[in-house]
Structure 1
Amino acid sequence: MFSFLAHRQACRSKQQERQERIKGLPPVYHAPLTTADKDILAQPVSQVVANVQAGTLKASEVLVAYGKKALKAHAETNCLTEVMIEKAEEWAQSCNTQGPLAGMPISLKDTAAVAGFDASFGYSAYVGKPMEKDSAIVRLLRDAGAVPFVKTNIPITLLSLESKNDVFGTTTNVYSKDHTPGGSTGGEGALLAYGGSRLGIGTDVAGSVRAPAHWSGIYTIKASSFRFLKSGNPTSMPGQEGVPSVYSPMTRTLEDLETIWRAIVSMKPWEYDHACLAIPWREVSLAKEKPLRWGVLWDDGVIVPSPACRRALQEVVSVLEAHGNEVISIDPPSPYEGLKIASQILMADGGKVCTRPMRSGEWNDPGVEQALGMLRAPRFFKRLYAWYLRHIRGDEVYAGLVENWYEKSVPEYMALVSQREAYREQWFKFMSEQALDFVLTVPNALPAVPHGGMKQGWKACGYTFLFNILDYTAGVLPVTHVDRERDALPSTFKARNAIESGSYRMYDAGKMHGLPVGVQVVGKRLEEEKVLEGMKLIEGLLKKEGKAYVLFEASD
């Protein structure tokens, strides 16, 4: 009872604090956007930075424009957690006006440690416990001249592709209030899509920057481990390194994505974070004597991409082929085997660490609840259920996941890490033998799902999770939007397994009409520069063919 009361009180106090911080801002932040504000918001990051460096634009003016827009985005989507604008006014006055991000406001996932502000990431137990110092990424950003000004919403436990918790509430998609912007970095997805920020920082352990990019219509490149700063930030699963979580940038445009990647690497992040590899930015040219070779993963064997997502992938394939690229369908080492290994490693502790801070009565994502329920079920029951799935339902896919879904001992965990390394070796040989420059696939089988969709879709993250266990660099760019007529599900569709069946219960091209659809561009480990160039090539060719993606524009 006392735990529940403490939980409710913490949620009320945090929401009141957020409301008071917004209400207490100077009147200029509550005024309509001016012509000058709109001009600032329309400029790419590189232009804003150049103007601040030249002295023709003040960092405080940039902050006002983005502060206004961010508050509008929050009013529409409930995307903000920590509103740091009052403090950001001080930072803007003293920022490095000659840095590579001079005067540019930047939003941060709620996990980012900013001195003096909470990093509760949805746990009421962490409310009112501000961080004592900035994390490595925050220190670098401020040294580069950037101005952190807001933090954004996430799901409790950080293990969902939605963004909801009792502390801050539910974040909605800018295209449809009935659908999620993604997770776990969903607040960033909504804010960037709305235009309330151009630069954001998120994390990814199973798709947490790529799903929001796909579902909100923005851009990201998930870094390989140790390429991007990470230390000094709290997390829901401290010590979980079997499937490394990585921090990575998210942006409103591809041009801005290149700007922030170059800026951060130019600051020598390895001098801020002991774990960061000392790899300067490497210029990559895709011009070769022979055509680039792209391998397309059309189906991971678990969930076939929906008509909308397959169409987006086909559009990219067609435009690449039309301009002289070599594109082949691939049959790589089993993505399903990768999913089995990765899911067991990630939850090897039985979900104990990520749920330990939760108080009595605290809401949890329905998908995570299902996962925890199965983890805690008796082994005998799971074996019996797996037998039923395999021999009665003919569902080998789900049976293989169920029978291995239990808390692991240390020897079992070490065996899984060994399996992970063997799996990575298989992919290494495959990529080499096929001489692939890139892998192309969908970021998720579906466009943005309805709120509560993780009850059916929590097992459906294989297209992103695969490249976490491989530690490959993977980017996502928006390509098109759902079309209710072209993307309708054929009446002949029949799900192959329980996971696919659950996912397709949510697919409705009519209700999803207009939602963004992205494509995932994958390189090998530590190929961030090359993946960026691949994304630039695709976007350039789509524009050349008159198929440029149209960003969301709010009517304010």
Structure 2
Amino acid sequence: MFSYLAHRRACYAKQQERRDRIQSLSPVYQAPLTSIEKNILSKPVADIVSSVQSGSLKPSDILRAYGKAALKAHAATNCLTEICIPEAEEWAKNCNTKGPLAGMPVSLKDEHAIEGFDATVGYSAWVGKKMKKDSALVRLLRAAGAVPYVKTNVPITMLSFECANEVFGTTTNPHGKDFAPGGSSGGEAALLACGGSRIGVGSDVAGSVRIPSHYSGTYTIKSSSYRFLKSGNAHSSIPGEEGVPVSLSPMTRTLEDLETFWKAVMSMKPWEYDHAVLPIPWRDLDLSNQKGLRWGVMWDDGVAAPSPACHRALHTVAKTLEARGHKVISITPPSPYEGLKLAALLLMADGCKCCIEPIRTGEFNDPGVVEALAMFRTPRIIKKLYAWYLRYIKRDPLYADLVEVWSEKTVPEYLALVSQREAYRERWYEFMNEQDLDFVLTVPNSLPAVPHGGMKEGWKACGYTFLWNLLDYTAGIMPVTHVDRVRDALGAFKPRNAIEAGQYRMYNADKMHGLPVGVQVVGRRLQEEKVLEGMKIIQNLLREDGNAYVPLDLMD
């Protein structure tokens, strides 16, 4: 009872604090956007930075435009957590106007540590625990001239493709309020998609920057571990987890801004701010005139086949590349299902104990995590019997295999999994060499954005993104098209397993009409520059064909 009451008090206090901070802002932030401010919002990051460096644009004016836009996006989607705008006004006045991000507002996922602000990541128990110092990333951003101004919502535990918690509420997809914006960097994607930010930073351990970009229509490149800064963020749902390395990564509204942001951060020598970052400067590449690039297409991960909408987006990209002389081949790589199984067992080797430890009595938990916990808590003998039933009665050996091994691991069992991970990575290394692949193309997920509550069914179907975390490969997401209720209608379909059946119970092209659909571009480990070039090739070819993706604009 006392735990529940403390939970309710913390949620009320935090929501009231957010309301008070918004209401206490200067009235200028509540006024409509002016034509000058709309012009600022329309400028690429590179142009804004150049204008600040030349003195033709003031950082305070830029902050005012983005502050207004962020509040408008928040009113539409409930995407913000911490409102740092009053402090940001001072930061803007004193920012480095000669830096590579001079005067540019930057939004941050809630987990990022900004001195004096909470980083609750949706746990009511962490309300009021102000960060005592900036993270390595925030310190670098300030040195580069950037201005952090808002933080964005996440799902409780940060282990979901949805974006809901009781501290801040549910964030909705800008393209359809009945759908999730993705997770765990869902608030970041919603803010970017609305135009309330142009550049931000999320984190990814199973798809947490890529799925939001796919669901909401934004751009990202999940870095390999230790390429981008991540030290100094005190709060994590699985502290110390290394079996599947987490990567902090930029998220942006446009591909051009993604390139600008990556180059700006790397120009600041991030290894001088974060002990964990590898000292690898940005390596400029230009692949625009190379026709001999080899693109391997993974059409199906063997677990959940891409829905018609997602398959169409991938097919469009593959055929566009092929028509321009690129070598596009269908591939059958080392078992993606095996990768999903290994990644899941490694990430949740503790039986989900760490991620639920801060949750108070009666506090909401993500439906997918609830399902995972139920499986962990089921006695092993019951799981064995259920697996037998799935395997021999339901004829579903794939799901039976997952159920049978779903248990908390001992240290020797965990180390054995790490050894299996390394052997699996070796198989992929050999496969990529044998096929001489420059890139792998695949869908980000079998579905477009799921309806709220969809992780109860969809939490197991994360293999298209989770695989690349296990391998520590670089993986980018770019929006390509939108769901079309006619072209993407589902015909006769017989699910191959329980995971696929759960996914397809949610697919409805009519209700999903207009939602963004992305494609995933994958490179090898530490190939962020090359993946960016691959994404640029695809975008330029789609533009030439008149198929360029048009971002959502809620600022008119």
TM tier, shorter chain? over 0.9
d(CA) in 2 for partners of 1:463 and 1:397? 16
Correspondence for 1:261: 262
Correspondence for 1:12: 12
Shift of the alpha carbon at 1:418? 0.2
Shift of the alpha carbon at 1:235? 1.0
d(CA) in 2 for partners of 1:285 and 1:333? 30
Which secondary structure does the structure 2 equivalent of 1:82 belong to?
strand
Which secondary structure does the structure 2 equivalent of 1:202 belong to?
strand
Shift of the alpha carbon at 1:553? 1.2
Which secondary structure does the structure 2 equivalent of 1:433 belong to?
helix
Correspondence for 1:274: 275
d(CA) in 1 for partners of 2:327 and 2:260? 29
Partner amino acid, structure 2, of 1:180: A
1:109 aligns with 2:122: no
Match runs of 1:61-460 below 5 Å: 61-233=61-233, 234-286=235-287, 291-460=292-461
Closer/same/farther in 2, CA of residues 290 and 22 from structure 1, 3 Å limit: closer
Partner amino acid, structure 1, of 2:91: W
1:537 aligns with 2:537: yes
Unpaired segments ≥5 residues, structure 1: none
Shift of the alpha carbon at 1:285? 2.4
Structure 1 segments of 4 or more deviating over 2 A? 287-290
**Residues 357-390 of structure 1: per-residue CA shift (max 9 Å, x gap):** 1100000011100001101110101111111101
d(CA) in 2 for partners of 1:397 and 1:26? 57
Report the RMSD for the aligned CA atoms in angstroms: 0.7
Correspondence for 1:462: 463
Shift of the alpha carbon at 1:286? 1.8
Which secondary structure does the structure 1 equivalent of 2:465 belong to?
helix
d(CA) in 1 for partners of 2:289 and 2:267? 27
Shift of the alpha carbon at 1:317? 0.4
Contact 2:288 2:537 in 1 (8 A): no
Closer/same/farther in 2, CA of residues 103 and 555 from structure 1, 3 Å limit: closer
Which secondary structure does the structure 2 equivalent of 1:519 belong to?
strand
**Percent identity of the aligned residues?**
70
Partner amino acid, structure 1, of 2:267: S
Closer/same/farther in 2, CA of residues 287 and 71 from structure 1, 3 Å limit: closer
d(CA) in 2 for partners of 1:320 and 1:168? 43
d(CA) in 2 for partners of 1:102 and 1:401? 49
Which secondary structure does the structure 2 equivalent of 1:429 belong to?
helix
d(CA) in 2 for partners of 1:97 and 1:327? 45
**Residues 276-329 of structure 1: per-residue CA shift (max 9 Å, x gap):** 000000011225776110000000000000000000000000110010000000
Which secondary structure does the structure 2 equivalent of 1:200 belong to?
strand
Which secondary structure does the structure 1 equivalent of 2:344 belong to?
helix
d(CA) in 1 for partners of 2:13 and 2:94? 31
Q: 477-486 or 278-287: which moved more? A: 278-287
Which secondary structure does the structure 1 equivalent of 2:416 belong to?
helix
**Residues 447-503 of structure 1: per-residue CA shift (max 9 Å, x gap):** 00100000110111110000000000000000000000000000x211000000001
Correspondence for 2:505: 505
Correspondence for 2:47: 47
Partner amino acid, structure 1, of 2:183: G
Closer/same/farther in 2, CA of residues 52 and 289 from structure 1, 3 Å limit: closer
Partner amino acid, structure 2, of 1:406: S
d(CA) in 2 for partners of 1:296 and 1:162? 27
User: Size of the alignment, in residue pairs?
Assistant: 555
Structure-2-length-normalised TM-score: 0.99
Shift of the alpha carbon at 1:118? 0.1
Contact 2:38 2:555 in 1 (8 A): no
Which secondary structure does the structure 2 equivalent of 1:508 belong to?
coil
Partner amino acid, structure 1, of 2:242: E
